[in-house]
């Protein structure tokens, strides 16, 4: 069994179970994972050292009296270390051998040792409160992030244990979890943490240790939320808004909620944790609530890229259909949280739509979070940057659309690292009938009593070959292939013969007696598509986006003709966009060329609104027909890897003259 997240207990009641073995060996994700393994993850310890995180651990251990003060701006600095340890552990679980792996192993043990040494006698571990001048444990549930940090520690410890088999960090986690269990619960401290995360972590610790108290505590935390234990939040001294209960995820019990709301990462970490609880307990009421909330998120609050979180203000979800492309927050961590939630829902229900959205988020709003070279990061992932974005040019903060080597609030980089390092485990699942392929990446997967090998150039190519290496020899076995929701057609063969089965609800289920080595070929259509928004999405009315396969495309300044202003064009919807693979560009991408029609309108006078009759002369560009200009779109995930400039996913579409 290869090590990964979500190792369900035997008692878990889910439709599907994660693959027992999952390896990605080639193609798109292998390349991204190689950069993660060779650049991003190895840089972690130095970044953490420079940001002060490791000094905090040494100081808490009393090992370095000269480092006695807390470093960093946030009480949750330790979680960056925990998340890196989780990422590096999943990386070690990949099983490579060589000097790089040995060095990584040394770093993991060094940092795990720092964490262990920092733990207090009674099991407590958060350096901000161990070192802070006015340190008071558990006194600030709103901003303290204590259970949040504990959650990441638990996840790191589980990953470390699964990857290395060593007990050291797991012992630290168990001691801390026992302290938390002794501190929180009915009749004890009944306050929840302002930032969910402990829930999913406690379930995973239960899975790893078999200690039922952890699952029970996770369930307690899930149900304790939304009952006002955080009050109205702390008084704020700034003129900004008071965060309010949705920010802390304390506005409504999960079971009663009808809409995702508040801080996007907090909401989705909570829902992932609730899905873990539902998976282990079989609680159908909780599951139904999660289905409802996922549907609300997907249908009304998700960007085309899979990104979520419409507001910079409070890093929060907006109203239904409030999806502005320019001010999209779409935090990288929120994309990751949506993937965590979605994959758990896929396992829980067996439905393909959850993996449809996971695929979209992976290839777009998640992959954009790290640069092609693996060295720089995006905190926010907008779908539109204007030509004259003065704010971006002057950007210094985390929340601007600039790639930077690290953030003051460095939650995103190690979060990307841990998802990429564990990514093989999001590809396939199994059940009593057979094996399900949720995502298409060259590699090998074992689940449901069988084993397959996948070979594909996806997403650049639509052909996916699946070799059934092992299946029960004496009985029917089902290989299920997800037909992505964007695919309007598909073709499938077994041994070169078209299959008779048709996909239902997103699954093409091929049930038969398999001979080892038999090959299935699935062909997905990769013609570029123009995609329109629901008319209620006000922020992109009158626009279209270019997509191809699972990839959302964008226009970025460096690829356009000199002098073309991306703010001043319409897309010609009648010109068919054409793809071309460019192996030398941005690590190798397929670009798409389309035709644009520059606005004929020039700025007149001082007022940007014009009253007129019933025509739409202004909006459609004036009387003079403009000359079409070719524009070139790149995959959205690859933007912001060259000089800063304008970018847009949604392009105004020239409307017929009215």
SS3 of 429-461? EECCCEEEECCCCCEEEEECCEEEEEEECCCCC
Closer by beta carbon to a second copy, 186 or else 623: 623
Report the nearest approach of a second copy to the CB of residue 33 (Å): 28
Report the nearest approach of a second copy to the CB of residue 516 (Å): 38
- Strand 497-498's sheet: what is its strand order? 21-24, 443-447, 450-456, 463-470, 518-523, 491-494, 497-498
Report the nearest approach of a second copy to the CB of residue 204 (Å): 26
| 286 is a site residue for a second copy (CB under 8 A) | no
| 321 is a site residue for a second copy (CB under 8 A) | yes
What H or E segment, with its residue span, contains residue 201? helix 198-209
Closer by beta carbon to a second copy, 161 or else 195: 195
Closer by beta carbon to a second copy, 133 or else 608: 608
Altogether, the residues listed in the chain come to a count of 658
Range 550-579, binding a second copy (CB under 8 A): 567-568, 570, 573-574
Which of these, 222, 197, 196, 399, lies nearest to 312 by C-alpha position? 399
- Strand 477-482's sheet: what is its strand order? 17-18, 428-430, 434-437, 477-482, 507-512
- Alpha-carbon distances of 115 from 15, 108, 154, 373, 524, rounded to whole Å: 37, 11, 12, 29, 47
Dihedral, 465, 466, 469, 473 alpha carbons, nearest 10: -130
| 78 is a site residue for a second copy (CB under 8 A) | no
Report the nearest approach of a second copy to the CB of residue 238 (Å): 7
Range 290-309, binding a second copy (CB under 8 A): 295, 298-300, 302, 304
| 120 is a site residue for a second copy (CB under 8 A) | no
315 a catalytic residue: yes
| 196 is a site residue for a second copy (CB under 8 A) | no
| 74 is a site residue for a second copy (CB under 8 A) | yes
| 593 is a site residue for a second copy (CB under 8 A) | no
| 613 is a site residue for a second copy (CB under 8 A) | yes
Q: Which of these segments, 46-54, 152-160, 425-433, 618-626, binds a second copy (CB under 8 A)?
A: 618-626
Closer by beta carbon to a second copy, 98 or else 612: 612
Report the nearest approach of a second copy to the CB of residue 374 (Å): 25
| 318 is a site residue for a second copy (CB under 8 A) | yes
412 a catalytic residue: no
Report the nearest approach of a second copy to the CB of residue 287 (Å): 16
**Cα Rg of the chain (Å, integer):** 25
Q: Which of these segments, 269-277, 381-389, 424-432, 582-590, binds a second copy (CB under 8 A)?
A: 381-389
CB 406 within 8 A of CB 412: no
Range 515-544, binding a second copy (CB under 8 A): 529-543
Binds a second copy (CB under 8 A): choice among 562, 583, 584, 611: 611
Q: Which of 411, 412, 543, 554 is catalytic?
A: 411
- Measured CA to CA, the distance from residue 157 to residue 177 in angstroms comes to 11
| 612 is a site residue for a second copy (CB under 8 A) | yes
| 10 is a site residue for a second copy (CB under 8 A) | no
Closer by beta carbon to a second copy, 32 or else 263: 263
- Measured CA to CA, the distance from residue 361 to residue 349 in angstroms comes to 19
Q: What is the DSSP string of 124-170?
A: ---HHHHH-TT--TTS-TTT--HHHHHHHHHHHHHHHHHHH---HHH
Binding residues with a second copy: total (CB under 8 A)? 99
Range 224-253, binding a second copy (CB under 8 A): 232, 235-242, 244, 246, 251
Report the nearest approach of a second copy to the CB of residue 518 (Å): 33
CB 75 within 8 A of CB 129: yes
Report the nearest approach of a second copy to the CB of residue 552 (Å): 10
Report the nearest approach of a second copy to the CB of residue 548 (Å): 10
Q: Which of these segments, 209-217, 221-229, 383-391, 426-434, binds a second copy (CB under 8 A)?
A: 383-391
Closer by beta carbon to a second copy, 155 or else 316: 316
Closer by beta carbon to a second copy, 280 or else 398: 398
- Measured CA to CA, the distance from residue 88 to residue 95 in angstroms comes to 12
Q: What one-character DSSP code corresponds to residue 364? A: I
| 621 is a site residue for a second copy (CB under 8 A) | yes
The set of residues, in sequence order, having a beta carbon less than 8 Å from that of 170 and lying 6+ positions away, is 157, 158, 160, 161, 208, 209
How big is the CA angle at 249 (ends 248 and 254), to the nearest 5 degrees? 165
Range 327-356, binding a second copy (CB under 8 A): 327, 353, 356
| 413 is a site residue for a second copy (CB under 8 A) | no
Q: Which of 315, 359, 446, 547 is catalytic?
A: 315
| 398 is a site residue for a second copy (CB under 8 A) | yes
Closer by beta carbon to a second copy, 589 or else 594: 594
Query: In terms of C-beta density within 10 A (0-12 exposed, 13-18 middle, 19 or more buried), how is residue 440 classed?
Result: buried
Report the nearest approach of a second copy to the CB of residue 110 (Å): 29
| 602 is a site residue for a second copy (CB under 8 A) | no
Query: In terms of C-beta density within 10 A (0-12 exposed, 13-18 middle, 19 or more buried), how is residue 198 classed?
Result: buried
Q: What is the DSSP string of 178-190?
A: HHHHHHBSTTSB-
Q: Is residue 336 reached through a cis peptide bond, with omega within 30 degrees of 0 on the bond before it?
A: no
- Measured CA to CA, the distance from residue 87 to residue 100 in angstroms comes to 15
Report the nearest approach of a second copy to the CB of residue 528 (Å): 10
Binds a second copy (CB under 8 A): choice among 78, 197, 204, 389: 389
Closer by beta carbon to a second copy, 166 or else 251: 251
| 313 is a site residue for a second copy (CB under 8 A) | yes
Range 361-380, binding a second copy (CB under 8 A): none
| 121 is a site residue for a second copy (CB under 8 A) | no
- For tokens 């329109």, name the residue: 532
SS3 of 59-98? HHCCCCHHHCCCCCCCCCHHHHHHHHHHHHHHHHHCCCCC
Site string for a second copy, 144-173 (x = CB under 8 A): ------------------------------
Q: Which residues are catalytic?
A: 315, 411
């Amino acid at each position: 069994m290869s090590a990964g997240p979500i190792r369900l207990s035997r008692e878990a009641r889910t439709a599907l179970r994660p693959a027992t073995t999952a390896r990605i060996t080639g193609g798109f994700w292998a390349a991204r994972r190689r950069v993660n393994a060779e650049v991003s993850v190895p840089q972690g310890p130095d970044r953490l050292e420079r940001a002060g995180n490791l000094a905090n651990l040494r100081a808490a251990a009393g090992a370095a009296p000269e480092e006695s003060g807390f470093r960093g701006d946030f009480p949750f600095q330790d979680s960056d270390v925990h998340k890196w340890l989780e990422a590096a552990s999943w990386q070690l679980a990949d099983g490579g051998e060589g000097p790089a792996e040995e060095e990584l192993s040394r770093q993991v043990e060094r940092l795990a040792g720092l964490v262990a040494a920092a733990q207090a006698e009674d099991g407590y571990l958060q350096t901000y409160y161990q070192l802070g001048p006015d340190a008071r444990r558990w006194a600030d549930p709103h901003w303290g992030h204590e259970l949040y940090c504990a959650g990441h520690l638990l996840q790191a410890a589980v990953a470390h244990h699964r990857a290395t088999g060593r007990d050291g960090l797991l012992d630290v986690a168990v001691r801390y979890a026992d302290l938390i269990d002794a501190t929180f619960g009915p009749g004890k401290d009944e306050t929840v943490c302002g930032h969910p995360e402990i829930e999913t972590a406690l379930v995973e610790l239960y899975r790893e240790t078999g200690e039922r108290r952890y699952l029970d505590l996770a369930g307690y935390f899930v149900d304790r939320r939304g009952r006002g234990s955080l009050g109205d939040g702390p008084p704020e001294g700034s003129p900004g808004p008071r965060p309010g209960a949705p920010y802390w995820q304390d506005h409504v019990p999960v079971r009663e909620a009808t809409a995702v709301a508040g801080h996007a990462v907090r909401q989705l970490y909570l829902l992932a944790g609730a899905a873990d609880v539902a998976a282990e307990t079989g609680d159908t009421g909780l599951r139904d609530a999660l289905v409802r909330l996922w549907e609300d998120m997907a249908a009304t609050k998700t960007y085309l890229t899979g990104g979520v979180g419409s507001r910079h203000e409070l890093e929060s979800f907006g109203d239904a259909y409030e999806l502005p492309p320019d001010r999209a927050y779409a935090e990288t961590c929120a994309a990751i949280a949506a993937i965590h939630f979605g994959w758990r829902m896929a396992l829980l229900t067996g439905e393909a739509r959850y993996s449809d959205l996971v695929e979209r988020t992976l290839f777009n709003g998640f992959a954009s979070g790290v640069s092609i070279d693996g060295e720089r990061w995006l905190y926010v992932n907008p779908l539109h940057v204007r030509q004259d974005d003065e704010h971006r040019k002057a950007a210094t903060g985390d929340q601007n659309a600039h790639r930077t080597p690290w953030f003051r609030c460095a939650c995103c980089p190690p979060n990307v690292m841990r998802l990429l390092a564990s990514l093989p485990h999001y590809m396939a699942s199994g059940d009593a009938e057979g094996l399900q392929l949720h995502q298409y990446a060259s590699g090998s997967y074992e689940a449901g009593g069988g084993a397959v090998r996948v070979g594909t150039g996806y997403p650049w190519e639509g052909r996916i070959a699946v070799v059934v290496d092992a299946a029960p020899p004496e009985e029917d076995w089902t290989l299920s292939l997800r037909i992505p929701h964007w695919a309007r057609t598909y073709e499938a063969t077994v041994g070169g013969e078209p299959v008779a089965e048709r996909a239902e609800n997103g699954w093409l289920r091929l049930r038969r007696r398999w001979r080892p080595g038999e090959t299935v070929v699935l062909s997905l259509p990769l013609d570029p598509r123009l995609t329109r928004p629901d008319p209620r999405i006000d922020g992109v009315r009158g626009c279209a986006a270019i997509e191809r396969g699972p990839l959302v495309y964008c226009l970025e300044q460096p690829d356009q003709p000199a002098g073309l202003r991306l703010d001043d064009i319409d897309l010609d919807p009648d010109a068919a966009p054409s793809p071309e693979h460019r192996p030398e560009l941005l690590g190798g991408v397929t670009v798409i060329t389309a035709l644009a029609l520059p606005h004929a309108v020039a700025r007149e006078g001082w007022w940007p609104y014009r009253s007129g009759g019933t025509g739409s002369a202004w909006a459609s560009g004036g009387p003079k027909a403009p000359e079409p200009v070719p524009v070139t779109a790149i995959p959205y995930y690859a933007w912001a890897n060259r000089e800063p400039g304008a970018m847009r996913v949604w392009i105004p579409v020239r409307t017929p003259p009215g």
